[in-house]
Amino acid sequence: MQFKSTRSDKVPVSFKDAVLHCLPKNGGLYVPFSMPDMRQFFLHMDADTSYSELVSAVAPVLLHGELNPFSALRVAESAFDFEPELHYINEHISLLNLYQGHTGTFKDFGMAFLAAVMEELLKTSGQVIALSATRGETGMSIARAFHSRRNIINVMLYPEGPIYGLDPKDFVPNGGTIIPIQVKGTFDDCQRLVLETLQDRPFAERHSLTTANTINVGRLLPQSFYYLYAFTKIKKQLKGDLVFSVPCGNCGNLIAGLYAWRFGLPVNSFIAAMNQNNTFGDFINGKSFSTRAPIATVSPALDVTVPSNYERLEAFYTEAPAVMRNMVFPITIDDPTTLATIEQVWKEHGIMLDPHTALAFAAALAFARTHDSAHSIVLSTGHPARTAGIVHRAIGIQPELPVDLAWLQTTTKPIASIAPSLDSLEAALISCF
């Protein structure tokens, strides 16, 4: 499988190039160039297939010529010491729990694969610096996934404020592989600096720069694997249509689901579940895309009005607008409904949901009112303890923090603090190496 830019399909590149030089020369973002039909490789799998078995069977076919079956097995086994878990509730609805990774969100799945596959791709040549904008648990997710991976240094840009979840033992001066740098500015400044540095081609090439942010298609592609996995677990019980309900922020999960569909996943619809920040739904409904300032809600990871994967989705829609319109259903859920759903699911099923999952759950219930033969798999994207305050507000009980997540409460100091400008960052990078 090769990759092309969302803005030009003239020169497809290899997976290795897309992962290690993650911005296309002509701008845009990398997306798959052609999507192989993978049905023969996963349709025979059943509920006994483990996640790393599925990944090590599917990845070498997708990345044919770049990742042989032995390398794929090494990648899958070293990446995944955690698995998704399908929780069947009744004939209409299931939860796909994706929060068993080290930082309690689905993002650990993409990050773990990216780190392991990068190490594998670099086995024969070179060293890279992954420059990423981080806040909250993203930094911890990177630190855990890239922990002691050879030939990769992670430079993480943090906005002003405390830095959580890192162990100074992992810092480069102490023999580790990470360099946290604080930027005197906002998270948006950090994201802008990552882009500007990668766009400074001579500098990026001289220092072999890439990123662990979702601009990197190497983080997005593996998210399609858990959709295939969910299907292998549910297929025996499935009678009617299969629907995935996906909470949408930057839309990485949604686009990965659409890739899974193109790989042959027998799915009928996707619900793009959104909070009040639903400008993106207008676009799906065929209206022009207009941006607004984001509003704060009880599902903060979805408070995004310009999804970073917008160009990737647009590319998908441009190819087949009618198919997409019949396949992806945007549903908006307000805060009171999200909170009421946390309470309802707790009372009816004894399951604690985080607000992002509850929102997707509510959207699936709304969808079911007009599609009563469908089975919805709700992506459970976050551990409820990450948003303990909101869960407590809904049900009066404080979810317990697992040991790994307790790390998120420790604070550390950055190695350097810089002005929010390209010059300052490049000077800091040069002085680090």
Ligand X SMILES: *Cc1c(COP(=O)(O)O)cnc(C)c1O
- Where on the chain is the footprint of ligand X (CB under 6 A)? 105, 107, 247-253, 301-302, 354, 356, 381-382
Nearer residue to ligand X within complex by CB, 107 or 144: 107
Nearer residue to ligand X within complex by CB, 280 or 346: 280
Nearer residue to ligand X within complex by CB, 97 or 197: 97
- Minimum gap (Å) between residue 307 Cβ and ligand X: 7
The strand ranges marked E within 139-278 are 152-158, 163-164, 178-183, 209-210, 242-247, 269-274
Quick one: DSSP state of residue 105?
Answer: B
Which of 328, 383, 376 minimizes the C-alpha distance to 356? 383
- CA-to-CA distance for 1 and 155, rounded, in angstroms? 29
- Minimum gap (Å) between residue 422 Cβ and ligand X: 26
- Minimum gap (Å) between residue 60 Cβ and ligand X: 25
- Minimum gap (Å) between residue 181 Cβ and ligand X: 23
Tokens representing 155 are 């430079």
- Minimum gap (Å) between residue 203 Cβ and ligand X: 28
Which of 98, 70, 71 minimizes the C-alpha distance to 86? 98
Nearer residue to ligand X within complex by CB, 29 or 128: 29
Angstrom CA distances, 283 to 151, 243, 258, 278, stand at 41, 21, 16, 9
- CA-to-CA distance for 174 and 171, rounded, in angstroms? 5
Nearer residue to ligand X within complex by CB, 176 or 307: 307
Full DSSP string of 352-411: ---HHHHHHHHHHHHHHTT-TT-EEEEEE-B-GGGGHHHHHHHHS-PPPPPHHHHGGG-E
Tokens representing 66 are 């770049």
Nearer residue to ligand X within complex by CB, 118 or 302: 302
- Minimum gap (Å) between residue 420 Cβ and ligand X: 24
- Minimum gap (Å) between residue 156 Cβ and ligand X: 17
Buried b (16+ CB within 10 A) or exposed e, 372-408: eebbbbbbbbbbbbbbbebbeebbeeebebeebbebb
Nearer residue to ligand X within complex by CB, 32 or 247: 247
Q: Is 216 helix (H, G, I), strand (E, B) or coil?
A: coil
- CA-to-CA distance for 270 and 257, rounded, in angstroms? 8
- Minimum gap (Å) between residue 387 Cβ and ligand X: 8
Nearer residue to ligand X within complex by CB, 204 or 298: 298
Nearer residue to ligand X within complex by CB, 97 or 177: 97
- Minimum gap (Å) between residue 245 Cβ and ligand X: 12
Residue with CB nearest ligand X?
382
C-alpha gyration radius of the chain: 21
- Minimum gap (Å) between residue 22 Cβ and ligand X: 17
Buried b (16+ CB within 10 A) or exposed e, 92-113: bbbbbbbbbbbbbbbbbbbbbb
Tokens representing 204 are 């990026």
Which of 357, 78, 40, 23 minimizes the C-alpha distance to 217? 23
Question: What torsion, rounded to 10 degrees, do the Cα atoms 30, 31, 34, 38 define?
Answer: 130
- CA-to-CA distance for 201 and 21, rounded, in angstroms? 10
Nearer residue to ligand X within complex by CB, 223 or 232: 223
